[in-house]
A and B are shown apart, each in its own frame.
Chain A
Amino acid sequence: MNFAKFGKISYVAETKLQEFEKHLETGKVMGTRCKSCGQTYFPPRADCNCLKGDIEWIELSGKCKLMTFSTLYFAPASFRYEVPYTLGVAQFEEGPAVLAPFSKEIKENEIKVGMSLRLVPTELIGGRMIYELRKADS
């Protein structure tokens, strides 16, 4: 178990949130919640700004609505063979938001701000773990 497998490439391997990746491997997208003030976090955080509470893991439904998106035709070096690819920001039913890549199953002309989507854990070739935005009914 290591956070170094999260993402298409990884910059940060060491974190208190390594468990996140294990959950992704079992098909769960997890956020965290402060036991003291009840604040829910996604991306998950190991610490709450209220400075009081312990943090617990909570599973998110993955149901979300698209807030905005963009298709990239020019990318950082590590992504140059992937262009074009589309990134979106979507808001979970539970409140927090996520920035994630769109699944290739959705064509760019099908993407509309406000559409219902699902955030789905996905394993890439080589064992890397990501989540991606798919159609709500897929």
Chain B
Amino acid sequence: MRKVGVIGVGQTKFKRRPDASIREIAFEAFKEAMEDAQITPKEIQASVICSATHYDKQRTPAGVVAEYLGLNPQPTFNVEAVCASSGVGLRIGWSFINSGLHDTVAIIGFQKMTELSSAEVQEVMGRSGDVMWESPFGTTMPAYFALYAKSHMHKYGTTEEQMAKVAVKNHFYATKNPKAMFQKQITMEDVLNSRMIASPLKRYDCCANSDGAACIILANEEISKNATDMPIWVTGLGLASSPMALTSRDPSFASFDCSSEAARQAYRMAGIGPEDIDVAEVHDCFTITEIINYEDLGLCEKGQGGRLAEEGQTYLGGEIPVNIDGGLLAKGHPVGATGASQIRTLVKQLRGESGETQVKGAKRGLAHNLGGIGMYCAVTILEV
């Protein structure tokens, strides 16, 4: 199998961006990645443009983004898997290179969550579930994950305090990440006293919508080795799906089947297990999701996710540092950019460029990117 390396990464600061359009936001991340890889747009043989297009004013945004980035006449197209768009985009870029079809591919994920008016966003939000059987009763993104939270609490005794610990951790690490949206630490009391959104999830149990972009440059083995002294290799990929309708899923509502399956595939491809991972980025769209992800990825036993959070084992220095860039909860969640941003964080860690939050001697990282209400999951393993 041909090796595929990451030779460049870039990311905008995640925040509200009333000053810039989607093409300009994408350009910022692309420019940083090109400078990191020390190559020019002419050397990019294909681009994969990733966003949840229902948040974009521009229909089929790959057209304007590729144009603005100077990537014509090379192939380009959109990839949409909601919050997992750029996690899926990475897999497609990998396939292009692994097949020998292209030597160098740019994956660009972006989202401007504030591009639509709030009335338009609310309308879109109301259609996040099965529109025939669930949306007609007023489901929301937080409500879907709240249903999992309530079930996980009932089945395993997980507590609101344990969930709050995840928010406290991720906000703490966001203050160490200049690219993160939130730059202020919060306390358990802040989380527990924040406004109820969908019981038991409160404001600080929910991630922050923000605007931003992230870019990953993949290359074949030869180019990767020539480009840098320390290429980071993509050694494991997993991608799986679950039913969209909640009622068609694992009735425990305490696990995301697509996560377990994607993780199984990625570990097998890399020939390693969860115990070999030094640093992880997991999809913490809500605090409960991070706890369930610990379990689905095998970072702890089923039902032990709450304990792992409570004991602080996912801090730097713990059993397995998770989301030490702030995660979706505090770094921000510009939907289409999130998967690529996770990869960027891991690449920085594996290169030893993470400064204050560096996991010493990190050799293997795992990214877990969940789409929508848990229909899609991409797991990626990177190694030095």
- Which A residues have a C-beta under 8 Å from some C-beta of B? 6-12, 15, 42-43, 67-79, 82, 85, 87, 89, 91, 96-101, 108, 113-114, 130
Contact = CB atoms under 8 A, between A and B. Distances in A.
A74 B198 contact: yes
Contact of A68 (B137, B142, B148): B148
A13 to B, nearest CB: 10
B247 A96 contact: yes
Contacts of B195: 73
A7 B147 contact: no
B251 A85 contact: no
Interface residues of B, number: 37
Given A8-B138, A42-B247, A77-B122, A68 B154 contact: yes
Interface string B143-157: 100111111001000
B119 A77 contact: yes
Contacts of B132: 11-12, 15, 43
Contacts of A89: 147, 246-247, 253
10 contacts: A8-B138, A42-B247, A68-B147, A68-B154, A72-B142, A73-B198, A76-B125, A77-B122, A87-B137, A97-B251
Interface string B118-140: 01001101110001111111111
A72 B253 contact: no
A11 B131 contact: yes
Nearest to B245: A43
A87 B131 contact: no
A104 to B, nearest CB: 14
Nearest to A79: B138
Contacts of B200: 70
Given A73-B196, A73-B197, A99 B125 contact: no
B38 interface: no
A78 B131 CA distance: 14
B134 A69 contact: no
Contact of B126 (A78, A99, A100, A130): A78
B243 to A, nearest CB: 11
B147 A8 contact: no
Contacts of A7: 135-137
B199 interface: yes
For the complex of A and B, 8 pairs with smallest distance between CB atoms: A7-B136, A76-B126, A70-B146, A79-B138, A68-B151, A97-B247, A77-B122, A11-B131
Given A69-B150, A89-B247, A99-B139, 6 more contacts: A43-B133, A67-B151, A70-B199, A76-B122, A79-B126, A97-B247
A120 B143 CA distance: 22
B140 A74 contact: yes
A67 B253 contact: yes
A6 B149 CA distance: 28
B334 to A, nearest CB: 20
A127 to B, nearest CB: 15
Given A11-B131, A76-B123, A99-B247, A6 B136 contact: yes
Contacts of B136: 6-11, 130
A65 to B, nearest CB: 11
Contacts of B150: 68-70, 113
B147 A69 contact: yes
A101 B139 CA distance: 10
A101 B123 CA distance: 20
B138 A78 contact: yes
A73 B37 CA distance: 47
